[in-house]
Every structure is written in C-alpha cells, then in structure tokens.
Amino acid sequence: MTEPSKPPKTGRIQAIDWMRGLVMILMTIDHAGSVFDGRHMHGDSAGSWVVGSPLPPGEFLTRWITHLCAPVFVLLAGGSLALSAEKRRDQPGQTAFLVQRGLFIAALDPLWMSLGFAAYHVFVLQVLSAIGLSMVCMAGLRRLGTGTLAVVGVLVAVLGELSMRVQPSSQPLSAVWRLLFVGGRPFARTVSAYPVLPWLSIMIFGWILGRWLLRSERASRARALLGIGVALLAGFAVVRGLDGYGNWGLHRDSLAPLQWLHVAKYPPSIAFMTLELGIGFVLLAGFFALDESPPKGLARPLAVLSLFGSTAFFYYLLHVHLLDVVDLVLRVDHQTYGLAKTYGGALFALVVLYPLCVRYRAYKAAHPDGWTRFI
C-alpha cells in the first residue's frame, strides 16, 4: 500500500468516514466469500432456511459480521445526504438533484452490479437500488419535521412484517408488492433482494441522524449515540427472546447463542434492524469518542478507514468485478480452504483498490461540482 494521504479539508465528519470504511472492509469479506467459498452461508430469510440445519461457527460468524454492512451503509447514506442537503436547503435545484442522483444510483444495480453479482443471468436489485429509490422518496419526505419523519420511519419499520400476510398473485400488483415490501422475483429475470420500504425506514433514521449532527454539540455526541445503541440492543433482546412478531418468520431453533444471532435480513426484520443498528450506533459512538482525541497509535488504521469511507461508492462499484476477474483467471476451487480464500481474497481486493481510491479522493476534492457528485 502507498502511504495514505491526509483527507482533503471538505468539512466531512471523520467518525462517519471511519465507520463507513469499516463497513466497506466487512462487505468485501462477505462478497469474497460469495465468490471463492462454496460453503459461504446464506439462509438469512425464512424462505431460504431449513429448520434444524447446522450453523457452522466459522462460516456463520464470517457471514454474520458482515450483516452490519447494509443497514449501516444505508443509515450513513441518509445521514450524509441530510448533512449535505440541509446545508444547501435554500439553494435551488436540490430536489431535482436528489431525484436524479437517486435514479442514477438505483439504475447501477441492474446495469452494472448485476454483471458482478450474477453475470446478467438475472438482474439483481440490491443495496444500490434500495438507496437510490429511498433517495427519491427523501426528496419529498425531507420537508417533513424531524418528529414526523421519526414517526414515519418507526411505523414503516415496525409494520413492515404485516406485508407478508398479503400475497397478491396478479400483475402488476404482485411485482409492485415484491419491489416495495417483501422482495423475491417481481419479474422472471429480476430478483428484488432489498425491497424499498424497509430500507427507506433506515434511510429516514439516517436523515434524522444527519439533522441531529448539524445541531448537536460535539462533546455530547458519543454518549447520546451509545445510549441509542444500547436501547436498540435491548429491543433486540426482547424481540428475539419472545421469538414471535418481529422476526419475519425466521425463528430460533433453540436457545444456542448462534440461533439468537441468526436473524432475517431478507427482508430486514425488526430483530435484524435493532441488532445491526444497535451495534452500528455503539461503534459509531466509539468513533466519535476517538474523534475527540485519536491515539497516535491508531493514526494509520484510521487513515485507511477514512480513505475507504470517503470513497465508499467508488470502491463498491469496482470490488465485486475485481473479485470475479480473479476467480475467472485463477479458476479457484470453491470447495477447499473456503474461509482462507475468503479473507485472502478480501485483503487482495482492498490492497489493489487502495491506490485507486487515493487518486479518486484527490480528483473528487479537486472537482467537487463535477460528475463525482453522483458517485
């Protein structure tokens, strides 16, 4: 790796970039596992899980640590959008820009990421489509007061599981239902892995977080975020303990610790959201505490996190395709040494893309109003 340059002075909040950088690293582990490890675990929904199946600790925990990625990525996307949009609130064209950028981001899933994830055998609508379409919704919702936004976000998150009780069979209602609420195959060659509304609720929470960061005192942030994280984790303990509504059909097989952690991501259940956002807020609190007076010994790793965090979208668009090229060239045996190849492949992608991210960050800082506003 080349020596990381200091991040340009753009008014960015370092704690957010550190958190987003950590998410990018964990995400790379998950996607490297999908490419190189034939035993990489999935089964993160009731529909794809067979009750009584084993949860191999190494494979399960490798997959589980990466569950943090999508909800925190969406949360921080909402927070960053709010930080930017609230500062430009009185400038004309902000609503149009949010809609245009949202549609652009959403289109990248079927047009670009489906090449990496599915070689265009199917068109996969994942986190980019969820973020992009949520941004389009936020173009209108952002005008609501914070209290009203919070109520909307909570209602969408809490009531979303009710949508599984309705299964429209006729088109186009069936396709719309899958795209918005429950996921699945809205069309023959399209997979909706991230239905919009559950993820919109997380972006709403992120938008509220961004507004709060603009108005809060720096010294009080870590303590408040820690309190939110602990409260969410307590909510997870209750929902998972009762093992009823809020688990989106993916219930515990037993009281074993891994069974408590085996929650439904597709679509995101209340148990999933409270667990992952709870962990996310606790970690974010830690990063905000570090931001007050970062230890010198952590300067290098924090600089690495800052780089990947400040170029997260750019990095995301490249990493899966790089892993696929490696798999194609080396003709990797997917049935042996799966975890070793997972972590080794992730490290390879991070090392290779690191200098590109350095250059992209410098270019974006020099051209803040160019095409890089969209990426």
Write out pLDDT tens, residues 11-22: 689 999 999 999
pLDDT computed for residue 91 by the predictor: 74
pLDDT computed for residue 310 by the predictor: 97
Give 120-164 as a DSSP string.
TSSEEE-HHHHHHHHHHHHHHHTTS-HHHHHHHHHHHHHHGGGGG
Q: Is residue 131 part of a domain?
A: yes
For residue 187, give the H/E element and its range.
Answer: strand 184-187
- Tell how far CA 273 is from the center of its chain: 11
Q: Is residue 97 part of a domain?
A: yes
Q: Is residue 170 part of a domain?
A: yes
Measure the CA dihedral 289/65/265/194, to 10°. Answer: 80
Residue 334 CB neighbours (<10 A): 14
Give 45-94 as a DSSP string.
SGGG--TT----HHHHHHHHGGGGHHHHHHHHHHHHHHHHHHHTTTSTTH
The total number of structural domains in the chain stands at 1
Q: Is residue 4 part of a domain?
A: no
d(CA 173, CA 178) in angstroms, rounded, equals: 9
Q: Which long-range contacts link 343-346 to residues 24+ away (Cβ below 8 Å)?
A: 343/29, 343/32, 344/32, 345/32, 345/35, 345/36, 346/25, 346/28, 346/29, 346/31, 346/32
Q: List all residues 6 or more positions away from 24 whose beta carbon is below 8 Å from its beta carbon.
A: 69, 308, 309, 312, 315, 316
d(CA 250, CA 48) in angstroms, rounded, equals: 10
Query: Tokens representing 201?
Result: 């609720």
Q: Is residue 35 part of a domain?
A: no
What are the residue ranges in the chain where pLDDT is below 70?
Answer: 1-11, 90
Query: Tokens representing 5?
Result: 């340059």
d(CA 347, CA 327) in angstroms, rounded, equals: 14
Q: Is residue 163 part of a domain?
A: yes
Task: Give the global pTM.
Answer: 0.95
Give 281-317 as a DSSP string.
HHHHHHHHHHHHS--GGGHHHHHHHHHHHHTHHHHHH
pLDDT computed for residue 1 by the predictor: 47
List residues bridging with 190 in a β-sheet.
123, 187
Q: Is residue 2 part of a domain?
A: no
Return phi, psi of residue 192, to 5°: -95, 95
pLDDT computed for residue 4 by the predictor: 54
Q: What is the pLDDT of residues 37-78, one digit of tens each?
A: 999 998 899 999 999 999 999 999 999 999 999 999 999 999
Domain that holds residue 143: 71-214
Give 173's Cβ-side CA count (13 Å radius): 6
Q: Is residue 267 part of a domain?
A: no
